[in-house]
Amino acid sequence: MRSHEIKTRIRYAETDQMGVVYHGNYVQFIEMGRTEWLRALGISYKEMEAMGVMLPVISIQINYKKSAYYDDVLTVKTTLKKLPSVKIEFEYEILNESKEIITQGNTVLAFINMETKRPMKCPAHLIEKLSVIDF
């Protein structure tokens, strides 16, 4: 599974007085996409942390193309860019109900050993699950 999609409906609290989604909320949408991508693969952040692995975001890039509005249903498509090593990189597309791309993004996260607080290689069980993906 290289890509995964989720849907989310825009809540009133995520918008300004004009009903337009506040730009900072897109970070939450792509985080939802990433965590659900991992969950669909059979891995959760909670399990990774229990195994002593943190996965902080070290880079984020968002390109806004069109606005989203209150009550819109958005599709967040999350795609693994390449097989991870010490870092894992995702690309995102957020589409409106008309299937128009309204936002594109990219995140890079680092695998960190929680005990040493130092970078580490991607856990073997994650590499094993990803080894079947063609890049």
Of the candidates 91, 123, 94, the residue with the CA atom closest to the CA atom of residue 29: 94
Segment 16-22 shows an average pLDDT of 95
The confidence score (pLDDT) of residue 94 equals 98
Q: Is residue 47 part of a domain?
A: yes
Q: Is residue 7 part of a domain?
A: yes
Residues 6 or more apart from 38 whose CB is under 8 A from it? 44, 45
Q: Is residue 123 part of a domain?
A: yes
Q: Is residue 135 part of a domain?
A: no
Q: Provide the CATH number for the domain around residue 18.
A: 3.10.129.10
- Cα 84-34-19 angle, rounded to 5 deg: 145
Whether 107 contacts 57, CB under 8 Å: yes
The per-residue pLDDT for range 56-92, each reduced to its tens digit, is: 999 999 999 999 999 999 999 999 999 999 999 999 9
Residue-range definition of the domain harbouring residue 30: 3-130
Q: Count the domains in the chain.
A: 1
Q: Is residue 81 part of a domain?
A: yes
Segment 48-56 shows an average pLDDT of 95
Residue positions annotated with a catalytic role: 16
The confidence score (pLDDT) of residue 1 equals 66
